[in-house]
Amino acid sequence: MNIALIAHDKKKDNLIRFVIAYKDIFQKHSLFATGTTGKRINEETGLDLHRFKSGPLGGDQEIGSYIANDKMDLVIFFRDPLTAQPHEPDVSALIRLCDVYAVPLATNMGTAEILIKGLERGDIQWRDIQRKENNGNEG
């Protein structure tokens, strides 16, 4: 599964702790992250991941493109709802794309834990089935 990891500045430490806690699950999947978040995850966990640009510089939109092209299966985005974000329209668009394309999205640690444990159990395998069906209907 392809998993996007994103965190606003005040939530980066929480995401790092979360990834460390579930490192054994994350290392079985392909990880993608926005700029600084990805750098910190790599430095603090040793996990390999693809880094997009920083969120405000287009990283959220790059992940959105992956969602729209059926290349992202799960998004974990630890948002800071109490701080105004200069790229809030991009954040809203990313969340909307998750809804449009039925990509599971966690915006806080509680929901992320449920999704990651579901991923471990195989509860998100329907994404593979959906992708095969979509690829079979092209052309």
Whether 47 is in a domain gets the answer yes
Stretch 88-92: mean pLDDT: 85
At residue 40, the pLDDT reads: 97
Supply the range of the domain harboring residue 10.
Answer: 6-136
Place of tokens 């299966």: 73
How many domains would you assign to the chain? 1
Cα gap 36→54, rounded to integer Å: 6
For 52-63, how does the pLDDT look when each residue is reduced to its tens digit (9 = 90+)? 999 888 899 999
1: pLDDT confidence band, cut at 50, 70 and 90?
very high
Bigger pLDDT: 82 vs 37:
37
Distance of CA 70 to the CA centre of its chain: 13
pLDDT of amino acid 7: 95
Residue 122 counted as domain residue: yes
pLDDT in tens, 24-49: 999 999 999 999 999 999 999 999 99
- 1 in any annotated domain: no
Which residue in 60, 80, 90, 99 is the catalytic one?
A: 60
Q: What is the pLDDT of residue 139?
A: 47
Buried b (16+ CB within 10 A) or exposed e, 40-63: bbeeebebebebbebbeebbbbbb
Instruction: Establish if 11 belongs to a structural domain.
Output: yes
Query: Which tops the pLDDT comparison, 14 or 138?
Result: 14
Whose CA is closest to 8, among 29, 30, 36, 28? 36
Of 126, 41, 28, 124, the residue nearest 78 (C-alpha)? 41
Q: Has residue 101 been placed in a domain?
A: yes
Tell whether 84 is covered by a domain. Answer: yes
In angstroms, how far is the first alpha carbon of the chain from the final one?
24
CATH at 14: 3.40.50.1380
Q: Is 60 an annotated catalytic residue? A: yes
Using the predicted structure, report yes or no on whether residue 138 has a pLDDT greater than 70: no
